[in-house]
Amino acid sequence: MKKILVVDDEESIRLLYKEELEEEGFQVEVAKDGKEALAQIPRFKPDLITLDIKMPGMDGIEVLKQIRLFERQIPIVMCSAYGEYKQDLTTWASDAYVVKCADLTELKNTIRRLLGLL
Amino acid sequence: MSDLFESLDLMRSLTNSFLSTSDSEKFYQTTLTTGVTIFKARGGVVRIMDQTKGSLEVHSSIGDYPRHPLDQRIAKRVFFTQTPFCLNRRGKEKPFQSILCVPFLVKGKSFGTLTFYDKEIEPFKFEEKDLWLLLVIAQQLSFAIENLIARREIHTLVQEQERRVKQLSTLWELSKALLTTVHFERILHLTLTAITIGEGLGFNRAMLFMVNEKDRMLEGVTGVGPDSAEEAGRIWSSLSQKKENPSEWIARISSASENHSLLNSLVKGIKIPLEYNPCILSRTVLEGRSFKVQVPQSEEGWIQARCKRGCSLGSEIGCFISEHLSHDPQVYSFATAPLWGKGRVIGVILVDNLYNQNPITDEDLQYLSMFCNQAGLAIENAMLYRHLEEVHQKLKETQTFLIHQEKMAALGELSTSIAHEIRNPLVSIGGFARRLDRSISSEAPEKRYTQTILKEVKRLEKTLSQFLSYTHQEPLVFKELDLREIMEESLSMVSQGEDGEIQLIKEFSSSLPLVKGHPEQLKQAFFNLINNARESMGGRGALSIRIYPVSKNGFSHVRVEVEDTGGGIEPEHLHHIFNPFYSTKENRFGLGLPIVHKIVTVHQGQIEVDNRPGKGVTFIITLPAEEGKKDEKDSRGR
């Protein structure tokens, strides 16, 4: 079973993603900020990480940089409420960029593609 | 003795007549008549020194006098030696040929002579007493003549002064008129008309050339004057009927009509390189002085244009190729005067007397130069003002643009946080509603509730995306598009069922150039306009859509018009309809029109509004066509 780490500062989003992705057959853990996420990765060893960009304290882009310092293989999907960061070169270090939507179909398809499940 | 009395009496009446007359002709004539009576002479001559020719000329004569070199020599001798002279020679038929000659002396200087010939009574010769009598008369006359001359000089001076004063007051009135306006065309018109009308400077025709410093060219700007001798005659006869003072005719010509004369269009076509030396016009600019030229007719009957460059400006002739001188003038006079701005020549005025063939005098030229000095400054002022206005306009446009940009930047920032604050909850609401929806069987009444939540969330997300695409510019991929197809797609986005009684009128041009653009954006823009129109009509009315090609500034464009019958926009809202921050109370427009505006701007197009309050409104979009843009690039590259 593939493991996914969901990083988002909003509790309801974490809950939604966890339930939806678990329903898709993934093992899901959540982190409420970058610090928590960085602490969880070595222990949980996720196969994929979804990363919210706008978070208090360390933002998603900073977290992305930090993760890439020690972990180059795990696919990372950037999630954001707006498309602005699409032009930010640092987000290119991620594997995908998804604009948040109530319809999670796009996110799920992206995850499946990155994990080679399609 | 009675002779002497008679003579004295005649002298008295002569002196009286001097005092009463200022007419030198009459005076000399009276002198001669009286003298002939006193001396019983056959004839008499008054000679006066012509200062300009330097010779003693016969001024008046009476009776018969010998036109003989000897007679002229005697007069000269008397004039220069200031000594009276009496000669009696024995003749063949008459006993004597006799000459009695005395000088006119004024303040010890002679200015003429008085001579009588051939005494007709015994002893048929002049005697010494005649000579003495004539000397006395001449002395008396000298005083009178001195007066007469002084009076005549004063008279000429007064006349000269009067003319000067009239010229100066006309000049003053003209410069006053020139100062009352900064309108470039009006000043040019006033200047040239003042030069050509009789009450002004009175030349037949006037033409204006301006210096183009950048290209070092002299360019014809405008010309005023009749196109033919017949027209000239008509104008002059109508003018001579009314007498006006300067301020009256200046007011009349200041408000004159368009200039459609042949001369005007001829002048407009003239371009001469400044460095082209043989041309009088170029020389006027380079040397900064006025020229006056008189050209006689050639043997072939034409005034010859010697300019070989074919610029229709003869080197010596001014600006006329021979066919324009169709009525065969004998002499052609023209003059030029530079128009001085501040420290440099900004143009040239060319005047001529083609129709009445009056020579142009030094005074005319001086008068013209004086006027041109005034006109030059006024024209330069007008040019500066025009330049200022252009710059001001540009500045205003830039300012408006900057304000808009600033608003957009602020809106961008705002939208980022709005997006975050709204989209995140929306994701949760929609996401959980979807989960809920899946768990509810399709027969359950709650299914409708979750469906409604999902529909509304979707709508909100769509609005949010639209809003974001408005505030955040993304790199666009432009394609060559047929706007008719885009419009059809936009129309298909409108759900037909809701259009109760809206009549759709489509007028699409059958041939249309392609437009380079973003299909989705343009579709969105057209859709927004159609939507606005439909909403304004409330289900009843006519929606007209027109698409047709236009040419703007020489470039090809496509125009799209969306017209409704929805009552138009209240004038107080009109200025704000494209402002994203502004929404009317009923929130009728929202972001729809700002988005259209943004999209059109991104496509380098223009949007205009033809608002008819109470009736309807037409939105007019003009987009550059693909071929038009290409032209533009070409011309920039040049």
Residue of B nearest to A17 (CA): B431
CA B601 to chain centre: 39
* Minimal Cβ distance to A101: which of B419, B427, B435: B427
List the domains of chain B with CATH numbers. Answer: 2-155 (3.30.450.40), 166-231+250-386 (3.30.450.40), 390-471 (1.10.287), 479-637 (3.30.565.10)
Q: What is the mean pLDDT of chain A?
A: 86
Backbone φ and ψ for B568, nearest 5 degrees, come out as 75, -175
State the Cα torsion B308-B309-B315-B319 to the nearest 10°: 120
pLDDT tens-digit profile of B104-154? 887 788 888 889 888 888 778 888 888 888 888 888 777 777 777 788 788
State the Cα torsion B144-B147-B148-B152 to the nearest 10°: 180
Cβ B424–A102 below 8 Å, yes or no? Answer: no
Q: Which ipTM did the prediction report?
A: 0.87
Task: With a cut of 50, say whether residue B319 has pLDDT above it.
Answer: no
Higher pLDDT, B450 or B306: B450
Q: Which residues of B touch A98 (CB under 8 A)?
A: none
Task: With a cut of 80, say whether residue B189 has pLDDT above it.
Answer: yes
Instruction: Report the alpha-carbon distance of residue B384 to residue B625 in Å, rounded.
Output: 36
Q: Which residues of B touch A101 (CB under 8 A)?
A: 427, 430, 461
Q: How does DSSP classify residue B198?
A: T
Q: Does A88 touch chain B (CB under 8 A)?
A: no
Q: Which residues of B touch A102 (CB under 8 A)?
A: 426-427, 429-431, 433-434, 454, 457-458, 461
Cβ B428–A10 below 8 Å, yes or no? Answer: yes
SS3 A48: strand
Task: With a cut of 80, say whether residue B320 has pLDDT above it.
Answer: no
Query: Which of B158-162, B179-183, B585-589 is predicted least confidently?
Result: B585-589
- Model-level pTM? 0.47
Predicted confidence band at B308 (pLDDT cuts at 50, 70, 90)? very low
Cβ A13–B428 below 8 Å, yes or no? Answer: yes
* Minimal Cβ distance to A102: which of B415, B457, B468: B457
Q: Where are the alpha helices (DSSP H) in B242-325?
A: 246-254, 262-268, 280-287
Confidence at residue B327, expressed as pLDDT on a 0 to 100 scale? 42
Predicted confidence band at B588 (pLDDT cuts at 50, 70, 90)? low
Determine the distance in angstroms separating the CA of A12 from the nearest CA of chain B, rounded to an integer.
Answer: 6
Q: Does A22 touch chain B (CB under 8 A)?
A: no
Q: Give yes or no for a contact between A67 and A38, defined as CB atoms under 8 angstroms apart.
A: yes
Query: Which of B88-97, B108-117, B420-429 is predicted least confidently?
Result: B88-97
In chain B, % of residues over pLDDT 70: 82
* Minimal Cβ distance to B472: which of A54, A83, A101: A83
Determine the distance in angstroms separating the CA of B621 from the nearest CA of chain A, rounded to an integer.
Answer: 29
Confidence at residue B558, expressed as pLDDT on a 0 to 100 scale? 94
In chain A, % of residues over pLDDT 90: 48
SS3 B398: helix
pLDDT tens-digit profile of A74-114? 899 988 876 655 545 455 567 788 888 888 998 999 999 98
Confidence at residue B250, expressed as pLDDT on a 0 to 100 scale? 72
Which CATH superfamily is A3-114 part of?
A: Response regulator (3.40.50.2300)
Cβ B425–A19 below 8 Å, yes or no? Answer: no
CB atoms near residue B447 (< 10 Å): 14
* Minimal Cβ distance to B431: which of A82, A87, A102: A102
Write down the domain spans for chain A: 3-114
Confidence at residue A93, expressed as pLDDT on a 0 to 100 scale? 60
A16-25: long-range contacts (C-beta < 8 A, 24 or more apart)? A16/A104, A16/B427, A16/B428, A16/B431, A16/B432, A16/B435, A17/A50, A17/A104, A17/A107, A19/B435, A20/A104, A20/A108, A20/B431, A20/B435, A21/A108, A21/A111, A24/A108, A24/A111, A25/A1
Confidence at residue B258, expressed as pLDDT on a 0 to 100 scale? 64
Q: Which residues contact B2 (CB under 8 A, 6 or more apart)?
A: none
